[in-house]
Amino acid sequence: SLATSAALTDELVSHGELMSTLLFVEILRERDVQAHWFDVRKVMRTSDRFGRAEPDIAALAELAAQQLLPRLSETLVITQGFIGSESKGRTTTLGRGGSDYTAALLAEALHAARVDIWTDVPGIYTTDPRVVPVAQRIDEIDFEEAAEMATFGAKVLHPATLLPAVRSDIPVFVGSSKDPQAGGTLVCNKTQNPPLFRALALRRNQTLLTLHSLNMLHSRGFLAEVFGILARHNISVDLITTSEVSVALTLDTTGSTSTGDTLLTQSLLMELSALCRVEVEEGLALVALIGNNLSKACGVGKEVFGVLEPFNIRMICYGASSHNLCFLVPGDDAEKVVQKLHQNLFE
């Protein structure tokens, strides 16, 4: 069954973390550093939603205080990210970005002073340097901006990573393991004089779902029904815009270990089709301009869309958050759009 295969997948993929940490402890011992290997599954209690398990914060705090905290005063502890265990002891995984998330969860449980995340880039940039080579590093950024960037596709940080840190006001430092001396970005609660435009994020593999129904006119429950169906199928909606007789939603297929096709199952499409006419458009990309007080500033629309005249823009979301302006473009245009905007707003 699907549930069994998901549980088996989690069991299998956990071995990478377990083996790499065992090897790391041996390397440290070879260099005369005393280190203790700790199985994180003893403390990381999660739900049994294999592939994307939810941590149980209260259980983690209690177990970490009992089993992990006493060891920290004695020695260096090496443990795993990304994996946990459910109530019956079966191995689970926290989904993509789970290792950084684990670091932040453990920091919260252990009341740490700071979380350091070592990745392959020295910090957070105004946009992905692979798309725009002249992108600049941001030395200090606040949680809200960083969370927006992470949510909208900046791969350096996973959005979930920041949640425990924000809740407990623990600063997060992001640096490069290839070049630890190169500095990085510090994510903290508040920064001095944040700029109007902070960064551009790009998220590929977006699906646009447009639902048309004349029943929407003067009807109160249509959207509730739509969201009810999506919730039953475990689908979270990203952006949404509505008109008199239609609603457009974007679905992000990049978050889970499952692929896009498994999100829009036949049964889901059938349930939606009973309610309205359904159009599905795939292969789109989401571009997000992250900033501060964007919805209160004048001329933002002109600055952004003025330079995007040559491109087809499928959907715009603006105003719900003062931190972002998002729009959908065809996947093939995404990089050109980001380059054009970066040149205009940041260079």
Q: Count CA within 13 A, CB hemisphere, residue 252.
A: 17
Q: Has 125 been labeled as part of a binding site?
A: yes
Q: Has 25 been labeled as part of a binding site?
A: no
The alpha carbons of the chain give a radius of gyration, in whole angstroms, of 22
What are the strands, taking DSSP E only, across the chain? 35-37, 76-78, 83-85, 91-93, 115-119, 124-125, 137-138, 140-142, 172-176, 184-188, 197-212, 237-242, 246-252, 277-291, 315-318, 324-330
Q: Has 96 been labeled as part of a binding site?
A: no
Q: Which residue type is seen at 65? A: A
Alpha carbon distance 187, 340 (integer Å): 27
Alpha carbon distance 165, 113 (integer Å): 10
Alpha carbon distance 103, 155 (integer Å): 16
Tokens of 102: 């684990």
Q: Has 130 been labeled as part of a binding site?
A: yes
Provide the annotated binding site for ATP.
119-120, 125, 130, 155-156
Provide the annotated binding site.
119-120, 125, 130, 155-156
